[in-house]
Structures are given as structure tokens and as C-alpha cells.
A and B are shown apart, each in its own frame.
Chain A
């Protein structure tokens, strides 16, 4: 029990993933700045941001106050749980349980749901526009994401345990080097972009058109929690992709190298694309990407 609590709060869980996530956020800001020929913030910038937000006044708008204040915590708790499950799988694979892949899939939706609930609870018109966009986006990318996970399950002979997927890849090589795995990986990478709320899929928080969108009414502590959730998600999502598609070698050096590779790809996609409209995003996910991913599933069933 104490060990579980330690794992949840400190090592693969909250403290560790928050630190890594905030540094990953700094990498994001720094690379963005370098792409735009700027200097960019110092490495501790995101930690300072969080501390500053903790010290600010929290303004609660009229409406359902309790929902408004509680919504950020659900997202944070679930995303920390994902960080813990993935971390435990990578450190000591025996500790994973049957079906943890599906648990992770469900837990990864909760941050988006908490954002939607918080946005609607604030009763702000901009926030509700942002919330409804986020909802449509979730409907869009979740189909493709699950399809690419199904490709992985088929490739690894119907495994829904993360450690078995890792063991399979250690024996037969990373899935990303097979045709179906490659297609599924590309689709999952684009879904990651949408899950993180990065450009081209940041219409829920579109700063230029609906100000901060879903987060518009949040200030102080709840805003800090939302930013922390985003940061931990930035650590968790690439890690999940590594476990699913690049699990050949999980020694720390290779793990960090793969993580940085995926992170930089995500950031470069973010910096070289304009924002899509919500209808374009839905068409993209349900049209092109879904068809591409169904091809990947068929290829996986044929054994490619």
C-alpha cells in the first residue's frame, strides 16, 4: 500500500512526471522560439509559471461553482495514474495487469472530459464554444486512436497487456518497422497532436478567435492544475507511443532518445501548420485518417 502510494505520488507518478512534463513544455517553448528566430524562455520558466499561478487569486464565476473547481482535479488524477501505470510497466514489467492497455485508453480521455465539464460549468459563451469544439475533437480523434491501438493488438497476437506488448517487440522488433505498424504510428502521432491540443488541432483554445476558449474563466490554482495536466500529458503521450510502437529497446538512454525524437516531431508539426477549422478537423479524422488506419488494420490481419 505504502509502495503504491509512493509510486503514485513520487517516482513514476506525480512528482517525477510533473518535473519531466514541465521541462518538456520548456523544450516546446524553446524550440518554438528558435523556429521563429527568437531566444526563448529560460529552462525554469514553466515551474515559475506554476508557482506564480498558485499565488494568484482564484476567481469563481457564477454558475455551478463546485463543478467548476473540481473539474481540473479529475484530469490531473487520471493523467498521473496513466504516468504511474506506464512507468511501472517500463521499470518492472511483472507488475502490470491484464487489460491495462484498455485502462490507459480510458484514462487518457478523462483530461479532455474534465476540460469540457469545466468549460461548461463556467457559463461563459466563449468557454462553451471552446468546450463544444473540444467535444467534437474528442469524438474525431478517439476513433482513429483506438483503431491504431487495435492494429497494435492484432500485430502482437491479441495482447491487451502492456508488458506482453513490450516483450513481443523485444523478441520480434519494434512495430514501427512493419508496414501496418508504421501507418498506425503516423495516425497515432497525429491523434497525439489533437490530444495535447497543439496546432493544427488547438481550436478548443484558439487564442485569436475565442481568446483562451475552454480555459477563459480559469485563474489561479485551477488554471495551474490545467497547465500541469497538459504538461504531464506531454510526458505521457509520447511514452505511450514508445511502449506501443517502439518498444524494442527500453534501456534509459534509448528511452530518452526516443522520447526526445517524438517530442521534437510533435513540436515541429505544431510550428509548421496553421489551425484547422473544427469541421475540417472532423473530416480529416473521420475521412482520410480513419480510412488509412483501416488499411493498417487490414494489413496487420494479413500479417504485414
Chain B
């Protein structure tokens, strides 16, 4: 039990779930893989299939179409699965809150573990968010 979670925190494979973002956060996520930040140091890899994923990185405001897709994606991911809301849109819908095509926020569809605000958040902020989550998991274990 302990070993399982410990291994999970050491090798987080992330899946990129873009629910109609403006692509700004997505570029910042890809920035994490570049030589300057290189999250593969911590065993984080971007995977193509949701079946391999340990973490869903959700960006953007869900609209009527992507809402269903996001729900489906979460149910397709093998548990335990972490959900990270990246950017102001995914955290709280900011200026799209009263928009006609925005039915709900991300955390009303699926349970979100980490919120990383910013428009877009810096790569450092994302790493800090993940580190906070890992610390939380480790603390809950001991």
C-alpha cells in the first residue's frame, strides 16, 4: 500500500486533457519538458493514451461538448488518478463565468486535487503545485 503510492509519486505520467483552452496553458505545459525545466528528472512523462495516465492536466473552461468528454476521460483513466486544474479558466472560469457556453467549472464535473492559477501559470508554479501534492500524499501516509 505504502510502496504503491510512493512509486506513484516518483513516476507521474501525465495526460493532457485540453477542454477548449486558448492554448496558452498548453504551451506552458510543454515548456515543462524542455531543457530548462526538464520534469523527466522527477520521472514525469507526457503520455499519449489516457490508459497510461496517472495525472490529468485539465486546461480551459469546459463547454457543453468538452464537458462530456472530460467526464469520459476521467472514467477511462485507471485509478488512482490525480486531476490537476491548470490556469485560471480551469480553476474558476474567470471571465467566462457567465458566458452562454460555459455550463460548469472543472471541479463540478470531476474531483480536482490541485489548483494552479495563473494566466498562464509559470512552469515553476506548476512544478511547485505538483511538489505540494506529493508532500501532501507523503504526509497522509505517515
Residues of A within 8 A of B (CB): 29, 33, 36-42, 45, 48-49, 51-52, 54-59, 207-208, 211-212, 215-220, 223
Assuming the A-B contacts A51-B3, A52-B11, A56-B78, are A41 and B48 also in contact, with contact meaning beta carbons closer than 8 angstroms in the complex?
no
| A48, B51: Cβ atoms closer than 8 Å | no
A218 to B47, CA, bound (A): 13
B78 → A minimal CB distance (Å): 4
Closest-by-CB residue of A relative to B34 is: A38
- Find B38's partner among A39, A55, A211, A217 (CB 8 Å cutoff): A39
| B43, A40: Cβ atoms closer than 8 Å | no
Assuming the A-B contacts A38-B35, A41-B43, A55-B4, are A216 and B49 also in contact, with contact meaning beta carbons closer than 8 angstroms in the complex?
yes
Inside 8 A of A207's CB, which chain B residues have their CB? 47-48
Inside 8 A of B38's CB, which chain A residues have their CB? 33, 38-40
| A218, B51: Cβ atoms closer than 8 Å | yes
Closest-by-CB residue of B relative to A223 is: B52
What are 7 A-B interface contacts by the 8 Å CB criterion? A49-B11, A51-B7, A52-B7, A216-B48, A216-B49, A219-B52, A223-B51
Inside 8 A of B80's CB, which chain A residues have their CB? 56-57
A99 to B40, CA, bound (A): 44
Closest-by-CB residue of B relative to A59 is: B78
Inside 8 A of B76's CB, which chain A residues have their CB? 59
| B52, A36: Cβ atoms closer than 8 Å | no
| B51, A52: Cβ atoms closer than 8 Å | no
